[in-house]
A = this chain, B = another copy of it.
Amino acid sequence: MTARPHHFPADKSSLAHAPTMVISNIWPALEGGRYAVKRIAGTPVTVWADLFRDGHGKLRAVVKWRKRGVSAWEESPMVHVGNDRWRGEFTVVELGEWEYTVEGWQDDFQTWRHEFERKAAALKPGESLQTESIEGAIILEESARLAEQGGHQAEAEVLRRASRAIYDAAPQDVAHTVDDSGLQALAARWTNRSLSTTAVPIYRVLVERERAGFSAWYEFFPRGAEGRADRHSTLRNCLERIRYAKGMGFNVIYFPPVHPIGTSHRKGKDNSLTCTADDVGSPWAIGSGEGGHYSIHPQLGTVADFEWLVREAKELGMEIAMDFAINCSPDHPYVQDHPDWFFQRPDGTIKYAENPPKKYQDIYPLNFHCKDWRNLWQEMVRIILFWADKGVKIFRVDNPHTKPVAFWEYLMSEVRLQHPDVIFLAEAFTRPRMMEMLAKIGFSQSYTYFTWRTHRQEIMEYVNELAHSDLREYFRGNFWPNTPDILAHPLVNGSPAVFMIRAALAATTMPNWGIYSGFEFCENDQHPDREEYRNNEKYELKERDWKRPGIRDFLTKLNHIRNTHGEFRHLSNLHFVHVDHDRLLAFVKASPHRQADLLVIINLDPAHLAEGTVNLPQESVPEPRDVPYRVRDLLTDDVYNWHGTANWVSLDPHSKPVHIFRIESSDQD
C-alpha cells in the first residue's frame, strides 16, 4: 500500500517549494494538450485559464511561449477578466510548432501594499505600523537584489531608495511613497517569483503560413493540359494551363500523381479491367520499371521538367500541390526491393487490394504494421522530403484514413522539422471522428462533406460546426463542389446556375475551396450507375476546349472578391442571418470593427426565383433607424438603398443567383 496519487508533491524531495497556485481549464487545449491547435503566422493566440490561490493575495499571471525545443520562454501578462478567469495573448510569426503554458504567482509587494493601506486607514491613536513598514521595505529590498542580479543597477537603486524611505516613514508617508506607478512597475518587474506555479502539461500550437488557411485550388491532369484526346500532354505544356487558372484567381494547382504508372493489370477506359496498348492508365497506380514515388512519368517529362514547372509557377505566384498517394502498382520498385513491406499470402505472394467483391489487382497496399515498419515509415518521410527539397510545399494526401493515424502524425512532424512551410490536405471522405482526428494530428486542411450538402439547414449546421465549435481550433475545411471521383448530384442538372451556386457556396463560406477542371464548363456527363463522371479522366485522355467561356467570368469575380476582401481569409467571422425563404441562404462576414460588413445571399434553387426579407443583425447596420444606407453588390457593382435591419431581396438564378454585398454607410463612396 505504498502507491501515491498523481501530480502530488508526494515525492516531496523533488519540490523546492509547495505548490501555491491552482491553474486549470487552460484553453485552447485539445484533449488536455495532447494535440496542437492551429494558427496562421501573425495571428494571435488568446489563452484562457482559471487561476487562483488560497488567501487574499494579489496575483499575477503570464502566458509563456517558446519554439518547441529551440528557444527560451517569452512571456506576456495575463489580465483577470472575472470569476478567477484570466486571459493573455501572444503572436508568433515563425512557422513550426510552438509551446505555451501559464505561470502565476503572488505579487508580494501589491499584497503588502493593499493590506498596509487598509491598516493605515483603520489606524487608531497610539497604534504603530512600524512592523508593517519594515515588511514592505524588506520586499522592496528583495526586488532591488533581483534587479541587481539581473544587471539593472539603476532600477535596483530606485527600489533600494524606496525601501529605505519606507523603513522609517510615518504611515501616511509610506502610502505616498508606494503610490508611485513607476515604483509599482519596477516592483512588479523584479518581484520574487521563486514561489510561482507553472501549469503542466505544456500546450502546443502549430503555426502555419497563410496559404494553409486561405487558398483556392484548381485541379487538372497534366496529361490533359492541352485538352487533346489524341495526345498526351507533358509538364512543359502545363504552364499555359497554370496561367489560365491564375487568370481565374486560383492560387494552388493540384496535380493528380505524376509518377510512372504501372502496366500490370492497368485499368482501361472507364475503369475497365481490360486495357489496350493505347490506354494511359490511372495515375494512382504508381510505379513501373521507370521508377516509383521519386520519379516522373516518362510521358510527362523528367524530374528536371517538374522542377522547372514548380519554379515557373512560383514566378506567377502560384503553387503546385503534389498528390501523395501511397498506392503501389505491381511494377513498383518496392515490390522487388521490399516485398516484406506488403501484405503477403501464406504462399509468399503479395496481396492486391480488395474490398470484396471488388478486386484492385493493379494496386498492392503497403502493410504499415509489418515487421520492418520503422524503415517503411521513414521511407515515406524521405519521399516527401525529396519533393519538398525540389520546391513542392503543398501535398494533397490520398486516402489518409486507410493508413495508421500514428503514421501521419509521425510523417508530418518529421517533415515540418525540416520544412515548416509544408501544407498537408487530407483527402479523407470518411467517418467524422476519423476526419477530425486526422486534423488533430496535423493535417493543415481537410476535404469535407460539403460536396453532398445541399439544403439550407444542413449547410448552415455544417458551416457553423466548422466555424464555431471546437473544430475551429484545428480543422480547416476545404470545400470542393466536385472532384475527379465525385460528380456531386446537384451538378448533374448541368445548368450554369447550379455551378455558380455551388462555387459561390464553397468560395464564400470557406477560406479554402477548390474545383476539378471542367467545372468551369459545367461538365456533367454522369456515369450511369454512380455519382461519378462517365469516361472518367482518371483512365483516359479527354478532349476539352479550354477556350469556351463557361462560368469562367463568374469564378474570376468570385476569386477576385475573395482575394481583395480580407473578410474571406477567416472563418469565425461568419454568422448566418435569418431570411424568410427556405431556399435563400444568407450570412454576414464581419469586417474588422464591423465598419463595413459583407453580406452574402445565395439562392440555393437553380431553377426558381426566390424572394424574401433578410434580417441583418443590428451591429451590421451602419446607420440609425430611418437613415438609409447602401449595399453594393461586389459581383455586379449594383447599389441598393436599404433601411434598418429588414430588407427585401430577390434572386433569379438564371441571371443572378448570388449577391455579395458590401454594407456601406451613406457617406462612403
Binding site for B on A (CB under 8 A): 1-10, 12, 17-20, 22, 24-25, 29, 31-34, 50, 52-56, 68-70, 83-85, 97, 115, 118-119, 121-122, 131, 134-135, 138, 195, 204, 345-347, 349, 354-357, 368-369, 373-374, 377, 401-407, 409-410, 413, 417-418, 431-434, 437, 440
Contacts and interface: CB of A to CB of B under 8 A. Distances in A.
Nearest to A432: B83
Contacts of A346: 131, 134-135, 138
A204 B6 contact: yes
A9 B131 CA distance: 59
A165 B223 CA distance: 53
Contacts of A410: 8-10
A134 B418 CA distance: 45
Contact of A3 (B55, B69, B84, B373): B69
B24 A131 contact: no
Given A6-B34, A413-B8, A18 B54 contact: no
A12 to B, nearest CB: 5
A371 to B, nearest CB: 9
Given A32-B32, A135-B345, 11 more contacts: A3-B69, A3-B70, A3-B417, A9-B406, A10-B413, A18-B407, A25-B31, A54-B402, A54-B403, A83-B433, A119-B356
A628 B422 CA distance: 71
Contact of A369 (B17, B84, B119): B17
Given A346-B138, A357-B118, A431 B369 contact: no
Residue among A356, A374, A409, A413 facing the most chain B CB atoms (10 A cut-off): A356
A349 B355 CA distance: 82
A357 B119 contact: yes
Contacts of A2: 69
Nearest to A106: B369
B409 A5 contact: yes
A355 B404 contact: no
Contacts of A53: 404-405
Nearest to A12: B374
Given A17-B369, A405-B54, A406-B19, A5 B431 contact: no
A84 B357 contact: no
12 contacts: A1-B418, A5-B97, A10-B413, A17-B373, A18-B373, A18-B404, A20-B404, A32-B33, A54-B404, A84-B431, A134-B346, A134-B347
A50 B433 contact: yes
Contact of A437 (B22, B347, B431): B22
A355 B409 CA distance: 54
A97 B417 CA distance: 41
A81 to B, nearest CB: 13
B431 A83 contact: yes
